[in-house]
Amino acid sequence: MGRKLSGRVVIATHNAGKLVEMRDLLAPHGVDAVSAGELGLPEPEETGTTFIANAKIKALSAALSAKLPAISDDSGLCVSALDGAPGIYSARWAGPDKNFAHAMEKVEAALRERDAFEPADRRAWFVSALCVAWPDGHTEEYEGRVDGVLVWPPRGDAGFGYDPMFLPDGHARTFGEMTAVEKHGLPPLGLGLSHRARAFVMLSQACLD
């Protein structure tokens, strides 16, 4: 069992989409969630070489600055035919203006360069690493993954990031075509489908339940 969370918690993100999903996941647990952006906390440089390492950097920075427990997410899209890219650099592929339409075009162009047109050649997975950090420096980390294939053109305008081109295994609609409950809702309303939901189930069992 992990250290328990209660009271006020910082969600260490400046990403509006991640903030919405994290608040949705935390809501049933009675946790008062405030974002790093709302507190005016700086965004630390993500110098880690893994999702877990970058999540830890962000959570520790927020916890130490705010003197509150903090939860951070580092997540991204990994494409088999691209040797796991964009991976931890998923946000950077969208550029400084966070243009994920452009990022999806870059992924598609890279796949076409490798003659990856068939579903079997377009396997991909999303990873979400969640880190909980406390002001005393204690941290706990959890990682979730969901596998699927990449479609083109992108479908749907829900979600964020690469969601419109990601079709999870066993489903007929992309993350971009799913409602929030369908994508990351937990039972009994949802299936806990997304990478972030899967990591959150582990976190909640250890630190919230």
pLDDT tens digits along 62-101: 999 999 999 999 999 999 999 999 999 999 999 999 999 9
Alpha carbons within 13 angstroms on the beta-carbon side of residue 148 total 24
Q: How confident is the model at residue 19 (pLDDT cuts 50, 70, 90)?
A: confident
| Dist. CA 91–CA 11, nearest whole Å | 18
pLDDT tens digits along 186-195: 988 889 999 9
| Dist. CA 11–CA 36, nearest whole Å | 6
| Dist. CA 124–CA 168, nearest whole Å | 9
Q: Which domains occur in the chain, in start order? A: 8-207 (3.90.950.10)
pLDDT tens digits along 23-76: 888 988 888 899 999 999 999 999 999 999 999 999 999 999 999 999 999 999
Which residue do the tokens 């910082």 mark? 10
The DSSP output letter for 171 is: -
pTM (predicted TM-score):
0.93
| Dist. CA 3–CA 138, nearest whole Å | 9
Give the active site residues: 74
The DSSP output letter for 3 is: P
For residue 93, list its beta bridge partners. none
